[in-house]
Structure 1
């Protein structure tokens, strides 16, 4: 019975991984976290708990094996996830610091993120100007209070102090 229970749990784990990946790209860390601590959805897809005889380490090992298989079949890719995340942050008007923080949160390897950041380097000035103009228009700040408001807003979007000073005070 324990073997059948384990196989049913493994099948459910695979199905959950497929459902998550069908919706959007995930980083390896993010998918592992969702598989390790699943939340049941109100839908028909109830998640079967792991067999009671499995230790926490054995559960983690099973998830790692599943992630390795997904990567081997190109269903899970940190490279694709990083590219998707980068495009998403650019569309949202986020800056370099916000993007770097997101890369760290998802534990993306610098071998993956460094080429993306190098490619983006010439685009940050245009990005910060676009965000500033969209929010505040293209007129210079009227006073110190408005300049401070611009600086706080741009900093909250993840732009560097140098980028902010360039667009607020030029």
Structure 2
């Protein structure tokens, strides 16, 4: 089928205009936020206040909605902390993860518990991050400084970064590499 230059296509029939959807209630908005990820009470308050003010409500209306959701178990500060630890601890050091928890408005006791959990694994997490990013010890002082800055920017403590760099250097030394265990050594066969 050939089209002529002056041939015009017939317009499609237009769909009927939809009526605008009414705005979500504060509870509906809160549930929408919570369905995406865990939110702390402080985060939800911050997100819901502009909508409440636009609808002519006040801070007490938002507080009532949040109280109701907390009573039903939809808001849990402990779950928020657990979620952040699960998502972020594998890539970040203690300082950065704890800063994120504080920014979410979590209570000090929950932040302290998270700090205790993180402290036990910081060096192992720091080494894993270093190995993924670099994988080999620095060749010179400038490269060492660059690697250390990267680790510090991720929130790992100076002591942990120093231990990671020392471990990387020691493992790179000939004769210090972990030796393969023979089957005789492993099973005690003679």
Output the TM-score relative to the length of structure 1: 0.79
1:49 aligns with 2:54: yes
Q: Aligned partners of 2:152 and 2:118: how far apart in 1?
A: 18
Correspondent of 1:115 among 109, 113, 116:
113
Correspondent of 2:41 among 24, 28, 44:
28
Q: Aligned partners of 2:92 and 2:123: how far apart in 1?
A: 12
Q: Tell me what 1:87 maps to.
A: 86
Question: 1:66 offset after TM fit, Å?
Answer: 0.9
Q: Aligned partners of 2:164 and 2:53: how far apart in 1?
A: 53
Q: Tell me what 1:147 maps to.
A: 144
Q: Aligned partners of 1:15 and 1:129: how far apart in 2?
A: 43
1:159 aligns with 2:156: yes
Question: 1:48 offset after TM fit, Å?
Answer: 9.3
Residues 140 and 169, structure 1, Cα contact 8 Å, conserved in 2: no
Output the TM-score relative to the length of structure 2: 0.71
Relative to structure 1, is the Cα distance of residues 80 and 49 closer, same or farther in structure 2, using a 3 angstrom cutoff?
Answer: same
Please, what is the CA RMSD of the aligned residues? 2.0
Runs of 4+ in 1 over 4 A off after TM superposition: none
Q: Aligned partners of 2:28 and 2:82: how far apart in 1?
A: 25
**5+ long unaligned stretches in structure 1:** 1-7, 39-46
Q: Aligned partners of 1:109 and 1:125: how far apart in 2?
A: 26
- Size of the aligned set, in residue pairs, is 146
Question: 1:116 offset after TM fit, Å?
Answer: 2.4
Residues 82 and 103, structure 1, Cα contact 8 Å, conserved in 2: yes
Q: Aligned partners of 1:37 and 1:168: how far apart in 2?
A: 48
**5+ long unaligned stretches in structure 2:** 1-21, 168-190
Q: Aligned partners of 2:50 and 2:95: how far apart in 1?
A: 29
Q: Tell me what 2:73 maps to.
A: 74
Q: Tell me what 1:17 maps to.
A: 30
Q: Which has the larger radius of gyration?
A: 2
Question: 1:119 offset after TM fit, Å?
Answer: 2.2
